[in-house]
């Protein structure tokens, strides 16, 4: 089964919901008036690199923002936000994320913190077949020609 960014975001959201059932989890959009405490999953970007003739490696970068209840200074509660971020990092400490019938590599690291809010950066990596068909007649290197000469210095 091919892995999609939507499937990854949904798997992360489900894992967060199991750990924080009382929080609203927003995905790829921030409401004008969002509830607190809440979590916001933002898909930043992904890259795809060829590993060999039949395999591509995709790396998907995401950020989870932790929004806590506001204090009297209209800032989030930093201590609570840091504890929440720590719990999120603990969720992915084993560096695995089940997505469909696959288990992907995931790494979590502490991101920024500002005004009583903080975030956790995630990097998800997986390899996929890129559609190469050896019977379709794609050109492969069959012969390697080399010429070696001795140079005098």
Strands 102-114 and 55-67 turn out to be: unpaired
CA dist 106 and 97 (Å) reads 6
- In angstroms, the first-to-last Cα distance of the chain is 58
Estimate to the nearest angstrom the gap between the alpha carbon of 2 and the chain centroid: 16
CA dist 128 and 2 (Å) reads 7
So what's the pLDDT on residue 138? 65
Residue 153 pLDDT greater than 80, yes or no: no
What does the pLDDT look like over 87-107, one tens digit per residue? Answer: 999 999 999 999 999 999 999
Domain boundaries, the chain: 5-29+36-131
Give the architecture (CATH level 2) of 5-29+36-131.
Answer: 2-Layer Sandwich (3.30)
What does the pLDDT look like over 2-23, one tens digit per residue? Answer: 799 999 999 999 999 999 999 9
Per-residue CA distances from 114 to 25, 36, 59, 81, 108 (Å): 20, 16, 27, 10, 19
What does the pLDDT look like over 43-66, one tens digit per residue? Answer: 999 999 988 888 899 999 999 999
């Amino acid at each position: 089964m091919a892995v999609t960014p939507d499937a990854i975001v949904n798997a992360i959201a489900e894992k967060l919901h199991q750990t924080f059932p009382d929080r609203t989890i927003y995905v790829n959009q921030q409401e004008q008036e969002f509830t607190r405490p809440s979590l916001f999953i933002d898909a930043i970007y992904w890259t795809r690199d060829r590993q060999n003739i039949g395999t591509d490696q995709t790396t998907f970068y995401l950020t989870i923002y932790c929004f806590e209840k506001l204090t009297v200074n209209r800032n989030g509660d930093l201590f609570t936000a840091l504890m929440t971020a720590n719990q999120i990092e603990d969720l992915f400490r084993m560096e695995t994320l089940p997505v469909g019938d696959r288990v992907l590599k995931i790494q979590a690291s502490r991101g920024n913190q500002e005004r009583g809010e903080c975030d956790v950066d995630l990097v998800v990596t997986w390899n996929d077949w890129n559609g190469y068909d050896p019977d379709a007649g794609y050109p492969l290197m069959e012969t390697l020609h080399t010429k070696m000469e001795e140079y005098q210095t």
